Amino acid sequence: LKAALGGAWRSGATAEGAMRLTLELIQQAPQSLNPASQRQLLLRGFKIPTIENLGGTMDAYECIDLSDNDLIKLANFPPLKRLRVLLLANNRISRLAEDCFDCLPNLTSVILTGNKLEKLVDLEPLTRLKTLERLSLLECPVTKVKHYRPYMIHKCSKTLRILDFNRIKDKERKASGLLFAGERGKRLLEEIAPPRVVGKDPQEPQEKVVKTGPSPEVIERIKRAIAEAETIEEVTRLERALKSGVLPDDLRAPDAAEAEAPAAEDGPEAAEAPEAEETKPMEVVKEGKEAEKAADEKAPEEKSKAREGAMDVDEEKEEKPAAAEPMAVDADSEEKKTAP
């Protein structure tokens, strides 16, 4: 196909391999009749990033096939009253412009299979299509959202007959009507598809950027370092630091000095306090060592005293039997005297 297009491909291709939807490409793109006898324009697989120049079709086609491209946002359609079928499968579409389908009043089939639509509120432009009969969102993250199918049946017009290649039954229409009826239904709609607030989302990141950005002092310091740099490597390194807002290690020394200065200004008492705290453990250690030495010196004296006490006890035990023997001798002499 690229070889057949020739000059149109080369003129529309970008450096990244993507191709713009130019008027020349539209004129040279293949055309055919689909099985429904509709005249279709085939623009598949060109990596087209945005929709543009479709007015060059002169509203001559009932079907336009833009599958297998790199579309991210669906917008910028010119008035195409004859267009009935729009094939947009396997792109990267994550957003639909609010007025996306306003210029396509007779659109009956939209195929968005394999895209990146995530929220039910992103499908709001599809619900305003009054002639929509067939819609496919298969393989999109939004199909996993709770109450996705009842929501689409309830929000889309009654002309929608087939959703994700499954016919919508009367039971489903009644069930979806009951699900979203009354105040309870309104609360449920607000819960699963909260309205998009315009203006808040872009401002929040800006505030965060302002808060986390480098201070003017840091920027001035880096600029001075760039002016004093002698080599290209230093200049490039400092330019990166300027973009990121992070000071290199060699430029952080002044900050450390400034941080230490208040500690010195507090006076000698504040400086001596840590030294005093450090000397306390040393004194405790010395006292402990002296106590151990004193205990070691007292130990031999106590041992010698214990030995002397033991010797005295032994001597007393020896003296007692010696005193008992004379008593026994006197008793024997008395017995002899009394004997006849």
Structure confidence by residue, pLDDT tens digits, 128-162? 999 999 999 999 999 999 999 999 999 998 899 99
Task: Name the pLDDT band for 226 (thresholds 50, 70, 90).
Answer: confident
pLDDT at res. 11: 47
Average pLDDT over residues 324-340: 45
Give the burial class of 248: count Cβ atoms within 10 A of its Cβ; 0-12 exposed, 13-18 middle, 19 or more buried. Answer: middle
When the pLDDT of each residue in the chain is averaged and rounded to a whole number, the result is 75
Q: Nearest Cα to 70, choosing from 86, 46, 95, 97?
A: 46
CA–CA gap between residue 162 and residue 148 (Å, rounded): 14
Strand 162-163 with 166-167, pairing: antiparallel
Q: Nearest Cα to 67, choosing from 23, 99, 32, 110?
A: 110
Task: Name the pLDDT band for 16 (thresholds 50, 70, 90).
Answer: low
Q: What is the pLDDT of residues 67-109, one digit of tens each?
A: 999 999 999 999 999 999 999 999 999 999 999 999 999 999 9
116 by DSSP, 3-state: which? coil
pTM of full prediction above 0.85: no
**What's phi and psi for 199, nearest 5 deg?**
105, -25
Strand 63-65 with 39-42, pairing: parallel
282 by DSSP, 3-state: which? helix
pLDDT at res. 120: 92
> Beta-carbon neighbour count of residue 66 at 10 Å?
25
Q: What is the pLDDT of residues 183-204, one digit of tens each?
A: 999 999 989 988 876 655 444 4
Cα dihedral 269, 274, 275, 280 sign: positive
Higher pLDDT, 263 or 177: 177
**Contact call for residues 12 and 6 (beta carbons, < 8 A):** no
Q: Evaluate if residue 8 carries a pLDDT over 50.
A: no
Q: What is the pLDDT of residues 115-134, one digit of tens each?
A: 999 999 999 999 999 999 99
